[in-house]
Amino acid sequence: MTTRPEVTPFFDAGSNTISYVVRDPASLSCAVIDCVMDIDYAAGRLSFESADKIIAFIKDSGYALEWLIETHVHADHLSAAPYIQGELGGRIAIGQGILTVQETFGKVFNEGTEFARDGSQFDVLLQDGDTYRIGTMTCTALHTPGHTPACMTHVAGDAAFVGDTLFMPDAGSARADFPGGDAGQLFDSIQRVLALPDSTRLFMCHDYGGNGRSIEWETTVAEEKAQNIHVGSGKSRDDFIAMREARDAQLAMPRLILPSLQVNMRAGEVPADPDGNPVLKVPVNAL
């Protein structure tokens, strides 16, 4: 019988991000997936209200945090992984493709030689097919690039956390026009997700509502295969690429892309100036 982890969502309205606490049903061990650090962009203020809700939930439930998983280097929210780790422990993990992201955006932000591009800011770098355990539950990391080179889908029992690879069926798929993104790769990655058992629960990293519905974040492989507006009902790879590239050409950059990339490629640490003050750069004509 397939393990069914307990999944508790936390929705951040400021970035339309859904973070998750995933608990092994046979123990009190858990993982946090895609946590959020709050930012008032205009005021230049960082805070941790969203992360504190997750910390309080884990403490109140008596859970033991083992992992802080980043499905990819997010461009639309900042990670709170180091803050939560400082409160609860656990190891921070991301896909091996972080090396490509660090190399690319290390140049964009002119980070210099002091910025390590070897992924050493993270505790664990996961490769395709790697497994790890949350308590007694074995989880598998699947490399699903296309949105970014570092994207991974994390399969835990009957649940899969897809990051930005897929959205709810009426919202389709993620953009593929960031540096290192590729629409063909994204289609292939989506097919890999849809090859999981039909009953697999799929958990989104983002949802924006629309079509008159409220925010949602959970669907199934069967529902995506049948109803996803971009890849469902047997849509072809060529048609997907043409649609995705035309659609991406019309999209604006995410509002928080500049602070998000600088923080998230450092595993959630905020860069600092030579005096140790937190500082973010604004490259001109670089993106």
What is the mean predicted confidence (pLDDT) over 31-41? Answer: 96
Return the percentage of the chain with pLDDT > 90, whole number: 90
Give the number of other CB atoms < 10 A from CB of residue 169. Answer: 20
pLDDT in tens, 181-222: 999 999 999 999 999 999 999 999 999 997 789 999 999 999
Q: Are residues 120 and 94 in contact, defined by beta-carbon separation less than 8 angstroms?
A: no
CATH number of this structure's domain 6-264? 3.60.15.10
Contacts of 67 (CB under 8 A, 6+ apart): 31, 32, 90, 91, 92, 93, 132, 134
**CB-based burial label for 46 (10 Å; 0-12, 13-18, 19+):** middle
The answer to whether the predicted template modeling score (pTM) of the entire model surpasses 0.85 is yes
**CA atoms in the 13 A half-sphere facing the CB of 155:** 22
Quick one: pLDDT band at residue 44, thresholds 50, 70, 90? Answer: confident
> Residue 115 — left, alpha, or beta (φ > 0 → left; ψ -120 to 50 → alpha)?
beta
Distances (CA, A) of 59 to 12, 28, 66: 20, 11, 13
Predicted local confidence at residue 42, as pLDDT: 87
Contacts of 38 (CB under 8 A, 6+ apart): 12, 14, 46, 47, 48, 49, 50, 51, 78
> d(Cα 136, Cα 128) in Å, to the nearest integer?
21
DSSP reduced 3-state for 239 = helix
pLDDT in tens, 97-145: 999 999 999 999 999 888 999 999 999 999 999 999 999 999 999 999 9
Count of all residues that appear for the chain in the document? 287
- The full set of domain ranges for the chain reads 6-264
> d(Cα 155, Cα 162) in Å, to the nearest integer?
9
Which of 119, 115, 74, 71 has the alpha carbon at shortest distance from 99? 119
Give the number of other CB atoms < 10 A from CB of residue 220. Answer: 18
Quick one: pLDDT band at residue 286, thresholds 50, 70, 90? Answer: low
Q: In what order do the strands lie in the sheet with 124-126?
A: 6-12, 17-23, 29-33, 64-69, 91-95, 124-126
Residue carrying the six token digits 């992360």: 51
> What tokens does 193 get?
């997700």
> d(Cα 131, Cα 129) in Å, to the nearest integer?
6
Quick one: pLDDT band at residue 231, thresholds 50, 70, 90? Answer: very high
> d(Cα 247, Cα 224) in Å, to the nearest integer?
20
DSSP tag of 145: -
Mean pLDDT, the chain, rounded, equals 95
